[in-house]
Structure 1
Amino acid sequence: MKIVSIDNSTKDYWEKTYIEAFPPEERLPFEQLVKMTNDNDHIHLSIIKKDEENVGILFHGELSDTEAYVFFFAIDNKFRNGGYGTKILSMLKERFPNGIILESEELGLADSDNEEQRLRRYNFYLRNGFKDSKHLMKIYDLSFHILTTGSEDTFKKYQELLNHIQPEAWFTEENN
């Protein structure tokens, strides 16, 4: 498996997978993702490949040479439950040994219509070595658990990055 930069031949696949994997309220416009990538050498829009077949997408930013923030990560519907997600997370943990940070939708919300999916995703990350930081990131009407393999320092770098690219986001500690 490998992670390769998006190009003209994979742009449509990336966008299609992105739309299938994330609800509209969680997505940023694709053009904005491309602009962020073009404007910053530390932000990457990538395709996940097994052999020469596209199996997923990744949008991540390097917080340092050894730490990263995963904005968006999804395995193509037809390849889910095949171990690809675990393999990619292992590759990322090897590449960024001092920490990876990502967001998982908040659990236990009364108005959530996809609680089971949220719980599966959250538990998937825990099984793959992530810990709940006990912080929530809130933006607009959405809130996310902050999961990490890193330290509080990784969380602070993530906050700085997010304050730069999405200043409307804010953070709070979980109640439990």
Structure 2
Amino acid sequence: YILYLAVNDQIRSQGYGTRIINELRHLYPEDSLALDVEQPNPQAANNQQRLRRLKFYRRNGFFPTPKLFKEEKVTFQVLATNKKINQRKIDKAFEWFSWPLGWLIQ
């Protein structure tokens, strides 16, 4: 599970994000990579940014999954490099990241 992927805005759009994803795929060839993105929402102030992120991940081999989760005012959708994901593994990842002590109870 990729918790957060960011490229410095001064060097963005130069292929670094794609290279990072390709390296992760190389390091973990047996696993489906998964991450979450803010769902597009025409009412959101950053909707264009959300659409660009989704397009970037789709272009790099990620597929939308049915897994959604809400955090305060934003709904996130999980994307994965396999069209079918192991829902139990994704749920366990979310449990691990849950605050404040999810990682301690594993």
With normalisation by structure 1, the TM-score equals 0.52
Letter in 2 for 1:103: D
Whether the aligned pair in 1 keeps the contact of 2:33 and 2:81 (CA below 8 Å) is yes
Q: 1:136 aligns with which of 51, 60, 68?
A: 68
1:152 aligns with 2:88: no
3-state SS of the aligned residue for 2:40? Answer: coil
Root-mean-square deviation (CA, aligned residues, Å) is 1.8
Letter in 2 for 1:165: F
Letter in 1 for 2:39: E
3-state SS of the aligned residue for 2:10? Answer: helix
Q: 1:80 aligns with which of 4, 8, 12?
A: 12
Structure with greater proportional strand content? 1
Letter in 1 for 2:75: S
Residue in 1 aligned with 2:39? 106
1:95 aligns with 2:22: no
Letter in 1 for 2:36: E
CA distance in 1, matches of 2:2, 2:75: 16
1:120 aligns with 2:84: no
Q: Gaps spanning 5+ residues in structure 1: where?
A: 1-68, 169-176
Aligned length: 98
With normalisation by structure 2, the TM-score equals 0.83
CA distance in 2, matches of 1:100, 1:136: 16
Percentage of pairs with the same residue = 31
3-state SS of the aligned residue for 1:73? Answer: coil
Cα distance, 1:95 vs structure 2? 1.2
Bigger Rg, which one:
1
Q: Gaps spanning 5+ residues in structure 2: where?
A: 101-106
3-state SS of the aligned residue for 1:129? Answer: coil
Residue in 2 aligned with 1:15? none
3-state SS of the aligned residue for 2:5? Answer: strand
Q: Deviations over 1:88-122 (max 9, x none)?
A: 10111111222110001111252x10111100001
